[in-house]
C-alpha cells in the first residue's frame, strides 16, 4: 500500500469475517445511485441520457470527465450501481433449484415447513450440536427438505401438520417455471408464500435469515451494473458499440416498460402473461446465457451474447484467467533451443526481447556518463533505454526524437529503465512447474535470432527438450529481488536436488558416450589437438608432460586431458557405468577399464561415463565436486567438461547405424535354435496340461500354472537369445557404447533389435483377447502356443510378420494408455498435496510449522538434515574428513 492509498482509504485493515447472503431488494435500492427508466443510452448529440443505461451517475468511462456521483476522475471512480424497478417479480435463475426445494417442503396455505413440531425440534437440536458445519450441516438440511417434501403428492397423509390443508404435488419445469397440480405458479404467488415463512423454518431449510430471506430469490428490483463494468467502445468510424450486458439491459427495460403500460391499461391477461414471460426470459439470460432449455440471447449479427455467468465461468473466465492466473509485465515467452557454448548459469535472450524488457537502474555520480550514453541510444537501438523516471515520479518515454534531450536532462536520482544486457539476472521457467527447480535464475546473454538458448545440462530439471518447447522469462525489477534470485535461485545453486540429494543438472546423451571415447585406453591427441581442446574448454593449466612418443611426435592421452579439469587435491574411486560386475573385481587392473581412480586430481584408471556426471543417476564425481568444493567448482567443471567432450567428439567422431545390430550367421542360428527349443518346451507343457499331468503350483489352478510355466519358459528362451547376441555386441559398436555408458538406450533394447522381441503382454498376461477364445482369427480356438499368444521371435532388424506386428501394437498401446492415465492421476495427487503443504516452513529452531505456528514436525525430517547439503543422508562424510586429514598430515 502506498502513501496515497493510505491517505485515501486509511491504514490497512484486517478482515475479520465475510458473510455471504442473498441481495435484498432493500439493499439493491440502498446501493443504487439512480433508477434506470430509459432503454436508450446516448442522445443524438452523443451525450448520455439521464435515467438511461449510461447515466453519468453510474461512473465514468471517458477520460477527462468526472463522476456525477463521487466526483472522481476516470480510472479513480470504480463506478456505482443503479437499479430497475421490475413491473412484475421474476425468478432468479441462480436460485431456481432452491426455490423448488422450498416449494416442495412448505405448505401451500400457511407456508409452514411440512414437519411436525416434534420433528422440527429434533432437527433443530441436530443443527445446534457443536462442530456441525460444512458438509455435515448440508446433509442435515437436505434431510429436512426431503422429509418435508414427502408430504406432497403422497395420497395418504398429504396434509399440512400445522393447518391441515391438503397439499398438491409441485412440478419444476426447467429453468424457471413451477406447477402445482395443473396450475402454474407465478413468481408473485411464490414470493407471497415465501414471505410468510417463519424464521425458524427458514433456518432449518438452510437460510441464514440474518442475511438472506427466501423471498429475495424472487427479484422485484434488478441491480444495474456500473458502466465501468460494461464500457462502450467507440469504433474508428465513430460509431459507439455497446457491451453485451448493456444490450441485455436494454431488452429488459423495454419489456419492463411495455409490461407496465399494459398493466396500467388493464390489458387482457394473455398479453400480460406473454410479456411477463418475456421479461423472465431476458432477466434469465442477463444472468446466464447458457441455461439449458432456454434459447441463448443473440446479438443482431447472430453472435451469442456473453452475459454475467459467461464472464466468470470456464478457462477464459474471470477466475481461471484473471485471478488464479494473471498475465504479468516484464516477462517474455518463446521457443527454446540448445547452445552448448554458454554456461549452465546463462540463458540466451534474443535481442528483440532484450530491447522490450527493461531493468530500472538508478543514476548515480558513478554511472551517470554510462546512463547518458544508454539514453542517447534511444529505445530502438541496443543497448538503449525505454523510459526515464524523474525523482518526482514522472515517467518519460525515450524516443529517437527525445533521446538527446532526455540524456541531457539526466541527473543523479533519476532512474533509467534500460534494456536487458549481459549479466542481468532473470528467472527462467518451464511449465508444468512441478518442483522448485522449474524456476531458476539465469544470467542473460543477449544473442541474435528469435529463440531462448539454454545449456543442455539444465534440461533435466526443466524436463525440457527442443521439439518445440517454449519457456518463460521474468525480469526482477528491484535490487533486492535481483540479489535474492542470484543468491538463492541461480542454476549452479540447484545442481544438487533438494529431493534426493544428488545432481539433477549434469551431462546426458552425447556427453556421456563422448566422455567414454575421450577417456578410454588408446585415445591419443597431438600437441595441436591438445591446444584446441584446452582452449575451447577454458582450461587454465600448464600443458602436462606428454604420455609418450609415436613416430617421433609426442602424444597425450584422453585421461590426461580430463585430469586437467579436476582440482589438484581430489581423491576418489568408484565403478564406471560400463562395469561388467565381474565376480571378483580387479580394481585398477580391470580389463574393461571400469574402475575409476582419481589420485590428487589425476585420472589414473577408468573411463568417464554416466557414473561420473550424468544427471539424476547417482553420479559420483560431480556430486563430490559440488559438495566438497562448492557450486562454483561444480559449475565450472560442467561448463568445461561438456565443451571439452564436444570438441573431442568432433575430432574423433562417433556414429551408430543399423550395422551396430548385425550378428554373424552362427549367432543367428544359435538364437533361432534357442527360441525353437523354448517354443517346443511350451508345446510339451501344453500337451502335459491337456493330458492332465501338469502338477499345479500351490494356490493356483492347472490353467494358471500352465500359463505361468509357459511365460517362464519363453522368458528364459528370450533371455538366452539376448545373452547370445550380447556376446557379439562389443564396445566397438556405437549403439553398445551408448547403452553401456548411459547415454541412450539399454542392452535390452539392443537385444530386441538384434535377437528377438520376446513376449508381448497386456496387464502382465500373454495376449488372448480379440476373438472368441483366440487372439486372432488366423489361429485355432484354444490355441495356447507361443506364436498365437503374442510371442514375437523376430527381431526389429529382421522385421515382424503381420501377426507379430499386430501383437506388438497391442502391447505398445497399453504403454501409451498407462502413461496418459499415470500423468493425469499423479498430476491431481500432486496438486492436492501442494495445496495441503504449501504453507509449511522450516523455522530457525529446526521445527516444521504451519503459517499459524502449529508444529508439524519437531525436527525437519526427524534429523534436521537437508538432503541437498548432506552426503548420502548423513550430515557429515566421516570417511572423507579422515581421509583429508591423513593426507594433510602426510603433506606436512
Partner 1 sequence: MSKVNIVEHELVPQHIVLSPEEEEVVLKKYNIDRNNLPLIKSTDPIIQELEEQLAEQSEDEGKVSLKGRIIKIIRNNSPAGEGVYYRYVIE
Residues of this chain that bind Mg ion (CB under 5 A)? 465, 467, 469
Closer CB to Zn ion, residue 284 or residue 741? 741
Closest by CA position to 728, among listed 663, 795, 668, 660 = 663
Q: How far is the CB of 228 from Zn ion (least distance, A)?
A: 9
Q: How far is the CB of 71 from Zn ion (least distance, A)?
A: 7
Side-chain-side CA neighbours of residue 252 (13 Å): 31
What is the Cα–Cα distance from 672 to 798, expressed in whole angstroms?
Answer: 12
Closer CB to partner 1, residue 656 or residue 857? 857
Q: Is the dihedral of CA 658, 664, 667, 669 positive or negative?
A: positive
Q: Is the dihedral of CA 252, 254, 258, 264 positive or negative?
A: positive
What is the Cα–Cα distance from 887 to 509, expressed in whole angstroms?
Answer: 36
Closer CB to Mg ion, residue 81 or residue 462? 462
What is the Cα–Cα distance from 693 to 708, expressed in whole angstroms?
Answer: 16
Which of partner 1, Zn ion, Mg ion, none does residue 859 bind to, with CB < 5 to 8 Å depending on kind?
partner 1
Q: How far is the CB of 185 from Zn ion (least distance, A)?
A: 16
Neighbouring C-beta atoms of residue 712, cutoff 10 Å = 12
Side-chain-side CA neighbours of residue 271 (13 Å): 12
What is the Cα–Cα distance from 497 to 867, expressed in whole angstroms?
Answer: 8
The strand pairing partners of 590, in sequence order, are: none
What is the Cα–Cα distance from 92 to 284, expressed in whole angstroms?
Answer: 7
Phi, psi (rounded to 5 degrees) for 842: -85, 125
Q: How far is the CB of 825 from partner 1 (least distance, A)?
A: 27
Segment lying near partner 1 (by CB under 8 A), choices 191-199, 273-281, 330-338, 850-858: 850-858
Which of partner 1, Zn ion, Mg ion, none does residue 861 bind to, with CB < 5 to 8 Å depending on kind?
partner 1
Q: How far is the CB of 741 from Zn ion (least distance, A)?
A: 15
Segment lying near partner 1 (by CB under 8 A), choices 190-198, 453-461, 722-730, 848-856: 848-856
Q: How far is the CB of 835 from partner 1 (least distance, A)?
A: 20
Segment lying near partner 1 (by CB under 8 A), choices 138-146, 481-489, 787-795, 862-870: 862-870
Of 500, 771, 858, 872, which lies in the binding site for partner 1, with binding defined by CB under 8 A?
A: 858
Segment lying near partner 1 (by CB under 8 A), choices 448-456, 605-613, 732-740, 858-866: 858-866
Q: How far is the CB of 856 from partner 1 (least distance, A)?
A: 7
Q: How far is the CB of 500 from Mg ion (least distance, A)?
A: 24
Which of Mg ion, Zn ion, partner 1, none does residue 160 bind to, with CB < 5 to 8 Å depending on kind?
Zn ion
Contact of 337 with 347, CB cutoff 8 Å:
no
494 Cβ neighbours under 8 A, 6+ residues apart: 436, 437, 440, 461, 504, 505
Closer CB to Mg ion, residue 224 or residue 615? 615
Q: How far is the CB of 857 from partner 1 (least distance, A)?
A: 8
Phi, psi (rounded to 5 degrees) for 625: -60, -45
Segment lying near partner 1 (by CB under 8 A), choices 222-230, 260-268, 385-393, 860-868: 860-868
Tell me which long-range contacts 530-537 makes (C-beta under 8 A, separation of at least 24): 530/556, 530/561, 532/647, 532/651, 533/561, 533/644, 533/647, 533/648, 533/651, 534/561, 534/564, 536/643, 536/644, 536/646, 536/647, 537/565, 537/640, 537/641, 537/643, 537/644, 537/647
Closer CB to partner 1, residue 391 or residue 873? 873
863 binds partner 1 (CB under 8 A): yes
841 binds partner 1 (CB under 8 A): no
Closest by CA position to 507, among listed 677, 649, 355, 400 = 649
130 binds partner 1 (CB under 8 A): no
What is the Cα–Cα distance from 812 to 287, expressed in whole angstroms?
Answer: 49
What is the Cα–Cα distance from 645 to 453, expressed in whole angstroms?
Answer: 20
Of 651, 652, 776, 865, which lies in the binding site for partner 1, with binding defined by CB under 8 A?
A: 865
3-class DSSP state of 855: strand
Closer CB to Mg ion, residue 297 or residue 459? 459
Contact of 202 with 213, CB cutoff 8 Å:
yes
Of 723, 847, 880, 884, which lies in the binding site for partner 1, with binding defined by CB under 8 A?
A: 847
3-class DSSP state of 862: helix
Which of Mg ion, partner 1, Zn ion, none does residue 203 bind to, with CB < 5 to 8 Å depending on kind?
none
Closest by CA position to 521, among listed 573, 576, 566 = 576
Q: How far is the CB of 177 from Zn ion (least distance, A)?
A: 23
Closest by CA position to 353, among listed 431, 400, 421, 415 = 421
Closer CB to partner 1, residue 243 or residue 502? 502
- Alpha helices (runs of H) in 288-415, residue ranges in sequence order: 308-312, 351-354, 368-377, 403-409
Q: Which helix (H) or strand (E) holds 728?
A: helix 702-728
Report whether the peptide linkage leading into residue 712 is cis, meaning its omega lies within 30 degrees of zero: no
Closer CB to partner 1, residue 164 or residue 873? 873
853 binds partner 1 (CB under 8 A): yes
Segment lying near partner 1 (by CB under 8 A), choices 69-77, 176-184, 670-678, 855-863: 855-863
Which of partner 1, Mg ion, Zn ion, none does residue 469 bind to, with CB < 5 to 8 Å depending on kind?
Mg ion
Closer CB to partner 1, residue 583 or residue 862? 862
Closer CB to partner 1, residue 876 or residue 892? 876
Closer CB to partner 1, residue 435 or residue 849? 849
Q: Which residues bind Zn ion (CB under 5 A)?
A: 67, 69-70, 77, 107, 109-110, 160, 162-163, 165, 582, 590, 594
Which of partner 1, Zn ion, Mg ion, none does residue 67 bind to, with CB < 5 to 8 Å depending on kind?
Zn ion
**Strand 439-447 to 346-350 pairing:** parallel
Closer CB to partner 1, residue 657 or residue 873? 873
Which of Zn ion, partner 1, Mg ion, none does residue 294 bind to, with CB < 5 to 8 Å depending on kind?
none
Burial (CB count <10 Å: 0-12, 13-18, 19+), residue 109:
middle
Of 588, 873, 882, 887, which lies in the binding site for partner 1, with binding defined by CB under 8 A?
A: 873
Closer CB to partner 1, residue 549 or residue 862? 862
Q: How far is the CB of 851 from partner 1 (least distance, A)?
A: 12
203 Cβ neighbours under 8 A, 6+ residues apart: 127, 209
538 binds partner 1 (CB under 8 A): no
Q: How far is the CB of 844 from partner 1 (least distance, A)?
A: 11
862 binds partner 1 (CB under 8 A): yes
Closest by CA position to 185, among listed 56, 268, 276 = 276
What is the Cα–Cα distance from 333 to 837, expressed in whole angstroms?
Answer: 30
Closer CB to Mg ion, residue 430 or residue 789? 430
Q: How far is the CB of 438 from Mg ion (least distance, A)?
A: 14
Neighbouring C-beta atoms of residue 368, cutoff 10 Å = 15
What is the Cα–Cα distance from 875 to 884, expressed in whole angstroms?
Answer: 17
Closer CB to Zn ion, residue 79 or residue 790? 79
Q: How far is the CB of 109 from Zn ion (least distance, A)?
A: 5
854 binds partner 1 (CB under 8 A): yes
Which of Zn ion, partner 1, Mg ion, none does residue 236 bind to, with CB < 5 to 8 Å depending on kind?
none
Closer CB to Zn ion, residue 108 or residue 248? 108
Segment lying near partner 1 (by CB under 8 A), choices 43-51, 168-176, 429-437, 853-861: 853-861
The vertex-159 CA angle with 153 and 161, nearest 5°, equals: 130
Segment lying near partner 1 (by CB under 8 A), choices 190-198, 574-582, 764-772, 857-865: 857-865
Residues binding partner 1 (CB under 8 A)? 845, 847, 849, 853-856, 858-859, 861-863, 865, 873
Amino acid at each position: 500500500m502506498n502513501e496515497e492509498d493510505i491517505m485515501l482509504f486509511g491504514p490497512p485493515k484486517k478482515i475479520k469475517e465475510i458473510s455471504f447472503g442473498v441481495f435484498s431488494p432493500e439493499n439493491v435500492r440502498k446501493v443504487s445511485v439512480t433508477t434506470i427508466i430509459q432503454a436508450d443510452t446516448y442522445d443524438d448529440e452523443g451525450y448520455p441520457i439521464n435515467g438511461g443505461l449510461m447515466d453519468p451517475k453510474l461512473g465514468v468511462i471517458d477520460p477527462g470527465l468526472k463522476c456525477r456521483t463521487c466526483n472522481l476522475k476516470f480510472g479513480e471512480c470504480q463506478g456505482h450501481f443503479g437499479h430497475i424497478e421490475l413491473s412484475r417479480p421474476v425468478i432468479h435463475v441462480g436460485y431456481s433449484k432452491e426455490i423448488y426445494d422450498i416449494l416442495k417442503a412448505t405448505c401451500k396455505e400457511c407456508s409452514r415447513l411440512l414437519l411436525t413440531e416434534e420433528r422440527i425440534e429434533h432437527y433443530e437440536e441436530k443443527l445446534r450440536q457443536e462442530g456441525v458445519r460444512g458438509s455435515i450441516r448440508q446433509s442435515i438440511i437436505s434431510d429436512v427438505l426431503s422429509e418435508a417434501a414427502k408430504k406432497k403428492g403422497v395420497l395418504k397423509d398429504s396434509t399440512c401438520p400445522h393447518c391441515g390443508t391438503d397439499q398438491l404435488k409441485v412440478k419444476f419445469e426447467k429453468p424457471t417455471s413451477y406447477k402445482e397440480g395443473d396450475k402454474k405458479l407465478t413468481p408473485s404467488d411464490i414470493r407471497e408464500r415465501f414471505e410468510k415463512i417463519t424464521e425458524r423454518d427458514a433456518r432449518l431449510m438452510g437460510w441464514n435469515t440474518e442475511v438472506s430471506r427466501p423471498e429475495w430469490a424472487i427479484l422485484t428490483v434488478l441491480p444495474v451494473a456500473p458502466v465501468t463494468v460494461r464500457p462502450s467502445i467507440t469504433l474508428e468510424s465513430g460509431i459507439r458499440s455497446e457491451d453485451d450486458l448493456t444490450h441485455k439491459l436494454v431488452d429488459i427495460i423495454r419489456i419492463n416498460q411495455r409490461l407496465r403500460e399494459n398493466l396500467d391499461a388493464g390489458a387482457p391477461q394473455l398479453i400480460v402473461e406473454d410479456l411477463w414471460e418475456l421479461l423472465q426470459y431476458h432477466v434469465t439470460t442477463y444472468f446466464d446465457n447458457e441455461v439449458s432449455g432456454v434459447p441463448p440471447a443473440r446479438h443482431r449479427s447472430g453472435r451469442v451474447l456473453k452475459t454475467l455467468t459467461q464472464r466468470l465461468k470456464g478457462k477464459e473466465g474471470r477466475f481461471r484467467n484473471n485471478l488464479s492466473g494473471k498475465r504479468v509485465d516484464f516477462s517474455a515467452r518463446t521457443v527454446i533451443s540448445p547452445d552448448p557454448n554458454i554456461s549452465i548459469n546463462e540463458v540466451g535472450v534474443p535481442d528483440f526481447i532484450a530491447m522490450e524488457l527493461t531493468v530500472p537502474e538508478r543514476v548515480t555520480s558513478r554511472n551517470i556518463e554510462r546512463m547518458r550514453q544508454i539514453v542517447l541510444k534511444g529505445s530502438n537501438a541496443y543497448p538503449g533505454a525505454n523510459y526515464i523516471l524523474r525523482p518526482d515520479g514522472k515517467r518519460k518515454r525515450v524516443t529517437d526524437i527525445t533521446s538527446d534531450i532526455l540524456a541531457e536532462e539526466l541527473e543523479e536520482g533519476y532512474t533509467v529503465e534500460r534494456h536487458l544486457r549481459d549479466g542481468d539476472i532473470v528467472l527462467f521457467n518451464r511449465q508444468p512447474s512441478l518442483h522448485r527447480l522449474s524456476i531458476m535464475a539465469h544470467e542473460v546473454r543477449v544473442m541474435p535470432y528469435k529463440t531462448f538458448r539454454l545449456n543442455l545440462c539444465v534440461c533435466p530439471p526443466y524436463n525440457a527438450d527442443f521439439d518445440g518447447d517454449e519457456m518463460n522469462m521474468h525480469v526482477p525489477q528491484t535490487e533486492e529481488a535481483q540479489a535474492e534470485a542470484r543468491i538463492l535461485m541461480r542454476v549452479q545453486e540447484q545442481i544438487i536436488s533438494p529431493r534426493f540429494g544428488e545432481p539433477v543438472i549434469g551431462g546426458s546423451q552425447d556427453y556421456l558416450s563422448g566422455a567414454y571415447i575421450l577417456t578410454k585406453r588408446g585415445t591419443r591427441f597431438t600437441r595441436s589437438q591438445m591446444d584446441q581442446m584446452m582452449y575451447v574448454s577454458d582450461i587454465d593449466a600448464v600443458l602436462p608432460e606428454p604420455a609418450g612418443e609415436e613416430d617421433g611426435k609426442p602424444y597425450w592421452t584422453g585421461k590426461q586431458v580430463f585430469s586437467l579439469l579436476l582440482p589438484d587435491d581430489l581423491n576418489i574411486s568408484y565403478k564406471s557405468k560400463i562395469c561388467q560386475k565381474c565376480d571378483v573385481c580387479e580394481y585398477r587392473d580391470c580389463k574393461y577399464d571400469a574402475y575409476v581412480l582419481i589420485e590428487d586430481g589425476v585420472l589414473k584408471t577408468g573411463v568417464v561415463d554416466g557414473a561420473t556426471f550424468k544427471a539424476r543417476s547417482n553420479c559420483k564425481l560431480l556430486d563430490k565436486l559440488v559438495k566438497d568444493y562448492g557450486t562454483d567448482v561444480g559449475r565450472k567443471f560442467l561448463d568445461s567438461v561438456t565443451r571439452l567432450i564436444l570438441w573431442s567428439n568432433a575430432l574423433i567422431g562417433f556414429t551408430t547405424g543399423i550395422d551396430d545390430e548385425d550378428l554373424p550367421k552362427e549367432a543367428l542360428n544359435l538364437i533361432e535354435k534357442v527360441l525353437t527349443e523354448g517354443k517346443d518346451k511350451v508345446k510339451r507343457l501344453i500337451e502335459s496340461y491337456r493330458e492332465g499331468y501338469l502338477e499345479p503350483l500351490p494356490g493356483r489352478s492347472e490353467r494358471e500354472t500352465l500359463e505361468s510355466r509357459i511365460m517362464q519358459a519363453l522368458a528364459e528362451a528370450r533371455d538366452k537369445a539376448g545373452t547370445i547376441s550380447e556376446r557379439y555386441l562389443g564396445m566397438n559398436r556405437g549403439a553398445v557404447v551408448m547403452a553401456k555408458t548411459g547415454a541412450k538406450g539399454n542392452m535390452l533394447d539392443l537385444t530386441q533389435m538384434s535377437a528377438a522381441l520376446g513376449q508381448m503382454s497386456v496387464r502382465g498376461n500373454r495376449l488372448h483377447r480379440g476373438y472368441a477364445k483366440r487372439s486372432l482369427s488366423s489361429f485355432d480356438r484354444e490355441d495356447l502356443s507361443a506364436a498365437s499368444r503374442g510371442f514375437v521371435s523376430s527381431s526389429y532388424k529382421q522385421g515382424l510378420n503381420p501377426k507379430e506386428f499386430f501383437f506388438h501394437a497391442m502391447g505398445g498401446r497399453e504403454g501409451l494408455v498407462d502413461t496418459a492415465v499415470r500423468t493425469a492421476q499423479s498430476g491431481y495427487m500432486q496438486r492436492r498435496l501442494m495445496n495441503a503443504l504449501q504453507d509449511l516452513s522450516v523455522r530457525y529452531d529446526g521445527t516444521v510449522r504451519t503459517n499459524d505456528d502449529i508444529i508439524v514436525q519437531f525436527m525437519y525430517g526427524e534429523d534436521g538434515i537437508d538432503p541437498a547439503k548432506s552426503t548420502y543422508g548423513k550430515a557429515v562424510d566421516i570417511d572423507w574428513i579422515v581421509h583429508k586429514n591423513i593426507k594433510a598430515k602426510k603433506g606436512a
